[in-house]
């Protein structure tokens, strides 16, 4: 039987590689497409049976070529820093918005059936009430969030007008092995673990009582796999529904790493809201997805990875 071709834009990145890993290669022909701007070929080192194509989603011919005979697209290729998006806004529009438009147009030309789009809770902006669901009016408060929302609308416009199928997954804070920790914009978990391993200070901005929903990367990959054949033309929050404070996180990491580590508090950063709980009933009901990894399990796996224990 002929395999179904799946193209993963941004597959060499932190989240993308774990999707590449989970796809059933007996059934699917997997092509990873990436310009390696923030991703690494080494992220794919432990994965077999896929083709790697170097290319840029902003280049029409790169995208058109790779989409030939494809049936499903995963789209993760994006620039992802909230801070950077403010002073490199043109680059963010070009990459995240124009790039998404290019992929969608390439899909129509090549008659590709479905796109599974990695979106972000950043589309909501600051939400003050707990229990907000996918119908909550998006109101991004940074350029990154705006570009992710634009990507969603571009996909929906072509779904309405051209019959493209989509699933939009809005992730909360993803964590796990292979996440970058050495850039200015890295996420708090890899940053704290690596600082702790090197006996550097864990810096907390504000009182540390701001809370976040952390989802393990393998659970995110699972939501992507489930979206391949269900959840058509739906948008889902992908989250645990539980919030953990930055203080709790720092203490937990200090415990696991078990070295002499100082935790210091600094003035709050602009726009660092308190955090609120997101409703996950839709993804549970419709995709039958729920997180399988407890925070303790996920944190230990992540620590083991950075400590070189696996
Ligand atoms: N990591 C999170 O916490 C999180 C949360 C919400 C949403 N997301 C979304 O998930 C997706 C993946 O995020 P990630 O954390 O894995 O980031 P990442 O930077 O590790 O992965 C992005 C990948 O896309 C590639 N890429 C970027 N621009 C490209 C271009 N123009 N052409 C080709 N390839 C390009 C990069 O090289 C990289 O491999 C992003 O779309 C992001 O917006 C991530």
Catalytic option among 74, 92, 117, 144: 144
Can you give the residue range of the structural domain that contains 140?
Answer: 4-172+217-239+277-292
46: left (phi over 0), alpha (psi -120 to 50) or beta: alpha
Would you say residue 32 lies in a domain? yes
309 in a structural domain: no
Which pair of structure tokens corresponds to residue 131?
Answer: 């229990």
- Could you tell me if residue 207 is inside a domain? no
Quick one: CA dihedral 61, 97, 73, 181, positive or negative? positive
If one residue of 61, 80, 106, 151 were mutated to test the ligand 1 pocket, choosing by the most ligand atoms within 8 A of its CB, it would be 80
Is the pTM higher than 0.95? The answer reads yes
Is residue 300 a part of any domain in this protein? no
Any domain includes 235: yes
Split into its structural domains, the chain has a count of 1
Partners of 74 in the beta sheet? 8, 116
Ligand 1 centroid, distance to 255 Cα (angstroms) = 30
pLDDT of the chain along its 310 residues, tens only? 899 999 999 999 999 999 999 999 999 999 999 999 999 999 999 999 999 999 999 999 999 999 999 999 999 999 999 989 999 999 999 999 999 999 999 999 999 999 999 999 999 999 989 999 999 999 999 999 999 999 999 999 999 999 999 999 999 999 999 999 876 667 999 999 999 999 999 999 999 999 999 999 999 999 999 999 987 899 999 999 999 999 999 999 999 999 889 999 999 987 778 899 999 999 999 999 999 999 999 999 999 999 998 7
The atom of ligand 1 lying closest to the CA of 56 is 32
Looking at residue 89, which CATH number applies to its domain?
3.40.50.720
210 is a domain residue: no
pLDDT at position 269 is 82
Q: How far apart are CA 144 and CA 88, in angstroms?
A: 10
Residue 70 lies in a domain: yes
In a domain, 157, yes or no: yes
Pairing of β 202-205 and β 244-245: unpaired
> Using CA atoms, how far apart are residues 301 and 139, in angstroms rounded to an integer?
34
């Amino acid at each position: 039987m002929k395999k179904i071709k799946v193209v993963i834009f941004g597959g060499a990145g932190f989240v993308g590689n774990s999707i590449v890993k989970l796809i059933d290669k007996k059934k699917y022909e997997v092509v990873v497409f990436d310009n390696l701007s923030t991703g690494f070929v080494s992220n794919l080192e432990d994965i077999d049976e896929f083709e790697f194509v170097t290319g840029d989603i902003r280049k029409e011919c790169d995208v058109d070529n790779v989409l030939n005979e494809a049936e499903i697209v995963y789209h993760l290729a994006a620039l992802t820093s909230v801070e950077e998006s403010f002073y490199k806004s043109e680059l963010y529009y070009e990459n995240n918005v124009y790039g998404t438009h290019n992929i969608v147009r390439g899909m129509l030309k090549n008659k590709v059936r479905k796109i599974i789009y990695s979106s972000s809770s950043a589309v909501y902006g600051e939400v003050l009430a707990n229990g907000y669901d996918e119908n909550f009016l998006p109101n991004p408060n940074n350029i990154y969030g705006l570009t992710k929302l634009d990507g969603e609308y571009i996909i929906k416009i072509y779904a309405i007008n051209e019959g493209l199928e989509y699933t939009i997954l809005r992730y909360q804070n993803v964590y796990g092995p292979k996440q970058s920790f050495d850039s200015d914009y890295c996420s708090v978990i890899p940053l704290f673990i690596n600082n702790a391993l090197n006996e550097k200070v864990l810096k907390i901005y504000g009182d540390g009582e701001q809370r976040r929903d952390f989802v393990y990367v393998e659970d995110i990959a699972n939501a992507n796999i489930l979206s391949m054949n269900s959840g058509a033309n739906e948008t889902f929050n992908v989250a645990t529904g539980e919030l953990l404070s930055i203080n709790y996180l720092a203490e937990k990491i200090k415990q696991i790493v078990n070295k002499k580590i100082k935790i210091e508090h600094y003035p709050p950063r602009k726009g660092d809201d308190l955090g609120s709980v997101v409703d996950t009933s839709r993804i549970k009901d419709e995709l039958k997805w729920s997180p399988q990894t407890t925070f303790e399990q996920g944190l230990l796996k992540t620590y083991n990875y950075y400590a070189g224990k696996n």
